Amino acid sequence: DGAAPGGGTLRQAMLTAARPWLLRVLGPNCLGLLVPGIGLNASFAPVGALPGRLAFVSQSGALVTTVLDWARTRGIGFSSFVSLGDGSDVDVGDLLDYLAGDPGTDAILLYVESVRHARKFMSAARSAARGKPTLIVKAGRSQDAAKAAFSHTGALAGADLVYDAALRRAGMLRVLNTEALFDAVAMLARPRPLHGERLAILTNGGGAGVMAVDALVAANGTLATLAPQTVEALSQVLPATWSHGNPVDIIGDAPPERYRDALAVLQGAPEVDAVLLLHAPTAIVPSAAIATRLLPLLQSGGRPVLTCWLGGDSVAAARRLCLDAGLPVFDTPEGAVQGFGQLVQYRRNQALLMQVPAALAGAEADRAGARARVAALVAAGTLRVGEADSKAILAAYGIPVARTVVVETADQAIAAAADIGYPVAVKLLSPDVVHKTDVGGVVLDIDHPDALRAALADIPRRLAQHQPGARIAGYTVQQMVRRPRAVELIVGISTDPVFGPVVLFGQGGIAVEVVADQAVALPPLNRVLAADLVGRTRVAKLLAGYRDRPAADFDALCDALVRIGQMACDLPELAELDINPLLADSAGVVALDARMRLTAVAPGSDPLARLAILPYPDELEQRWPWAGGTVTIRPVRPEDGPAHQAFFAALSAEDIHFRLFAALRELSPAQLARFTQIDYAREMAFIATREGAAGQPETLGVARVVADPDNVRGEFAVTVRTDLKARGLGHLLMTRLIDYCRARGLAELTGTVLPDNVRMLALAQALGFTTRRADDLVELRLDLAPGGQA
DSSP state letters, 722-774: GGGTTSSHHHHHHHHHHHHHHHTT--EEEEEE-TT-HHHHHHHHHHT-EEEEE
Residue 259 lies in a domain: yes
Helix (H) / strand (E) containing 350: helix 333-353
pLDDT > 90? residue 394:
yes
**Residues 466-507: tens digit of each pLDDT:** 999 899 989 999 988 888 889 999 999 999 999 999 999 999
Of 153-167, 373-387, 453-467, 748-762, give the lowest mean pLDDT range: 153-167
Assess contact for 68 and 81: CB atoms under 8 A: yes
Domain that includes residue 663, residue range = 618-783
Identify whether residues 558 and 453 lie together within a single domain.
Answer: no
**Residues 711-729: tens digit of each pLDDT:** 899 999 999 999 999 999 9
Identify whether residues 650 and 535 lie together within a single domain.
Answer: no
Residue type, 306: L
| Residue range 199-219: mean pLDDT, rounded | 92
Identify whether residues 130 and 213 lie together within a single domain.
Answer: no
CATH code of the domain covering residue 564: 3.30.470.20
Q: Which long-range contacts (CB under 8 A, 24 or more apart) does 319-327 make?
A: 321/288, 321/291, 321/292, 321/295, 322/291, 322/295, 322/298, 325/295, 325/298, 325/299, 326/186, 326/190, 327/298, 327/299
Identify whether residues 643 and 757 lie together within a single domain.
Answer: yes
Residue 722 lies in a domain: yes
Residue type, 201: I
Identify the pLDDT of residue 684: 96
Identify whether residues 757 and 663 lie together within a single domain.
Answer: yes
Assess whether the previous peptide bond of 581 is cis (omega < 30° from 0).
yes
Identify the pLDDT of residue 408: 92
Closest residue by Cα to residue 124 from 788, 736, 679, 767:
679
pLDDT > 60? residue 156:
no
CATH code of the domain covering residue 455: 3.30.1490.20
Q: Mean pLDDT of all residues in the chain?
A: 88
Give 145's Cβ-side CA count (13 Å radius).
1
Identify whether residues 542 and 626 lie together within a single domain.
Answer: no
Identify the pLDDT of residue 190: 63
Identify the pLDDT of residue 790: 44
Distance CA 96, CA 145 (A): 32
Residue 394 lies in a domain: no
Identify the pLDDT of residue 141: 62
Identify whether residues 581 and 675 lie together within a single domain.
Answer: no
Identify the pLDDT of residue 225: 96
More confident residue, 538 or 357: 538
CATH code of the domain covering residue 270: 3.40.50.261
Identify the pLDDT of residue 502: 96
Identify the pLDDT of residue 70: 83
Residue 181 lies in a domain: yes
Identify the pLDDT of residue 151: 47
Of 124-133, 634-643, 659-668, give the lowest mean pLDDT range: 659-668
Identify the pLDDT of residue 259: 92
Identify the pLDDT of residue 723: 94
Residue 611 lies in a domain: no
Residue 409 lies in a domain: yes
End residue of a domain, out of 188, 210, 239 = 188
Identify whether residues 462 and 504 lie together within a single domain.
Answer: no
pLDDT more than 70, % of the chain: 95
Helices 333-353 and 527-535 pack at an angle, to 10 degrees, of 150
Residue 660 lies in a domain: yes
Of 142-151, 195-204, 320-329, give the lowest mean pLDDT range: 142-151
User: What pairing do the DSSP bridges indicate for beta strands 574-585 and 487-496?
Assistant: antiparallel
More confident residue, 788 or 401: 401
**Residues 158-180: tens digit of each pLDDT:** 588 899 999 999 999 998 887 78
| Residue range 439-451: mean pLDDT, rounded | 92
Identify whether residues 517 and 440 lie together within a single domain.
Answer: no
Closest residue by Cα to residue 613 from 560, 559, 682:
682
- Count of domains forming the chain: 5
519: three-class secondary structure by DSSP: strand
Identify whether residues 115 and 176 lie together within a single domain.
Answer: yes
pLDDT > 70? residue 283:
yes
Identify the pLDDT of residue 697: 87
Identify whether residues 580 and 657 lie together within a single domain.
Answer: no
Confidence of residue 353 (pLDDT cuts 50, 70, 90): confident
Residue 379 lies in a domain: no
Helices (H), 499-601: 512-515, 527-535, 539-543, 554-570
Assess contact for 273 and 196: CB atoms under 8 A: yes
End residue of a domain, out of 325, 344, 368 = 325
**pTM, 2 dp:** 0.85
Confidence of residue 327 (pLDDT cuts 50, 70, 90): confident
Identify the pLDDT of residue 153: 44
End residue of a domain, out of 480, 509, 530 = 480
pLDDT > 70? residue 154:
no
Reading across the β-sheet that carries 622-626, which strands appear in turn? 622-626, 629-635, 683-691, 697-707, 713-720, 748-753, 777-783, 770-774
Confidence of residue 564 (pLDDT cuts 50, 70, 90): very high
Identify whether residues 52 and 175 lie together within a single domain.
Answer: yes
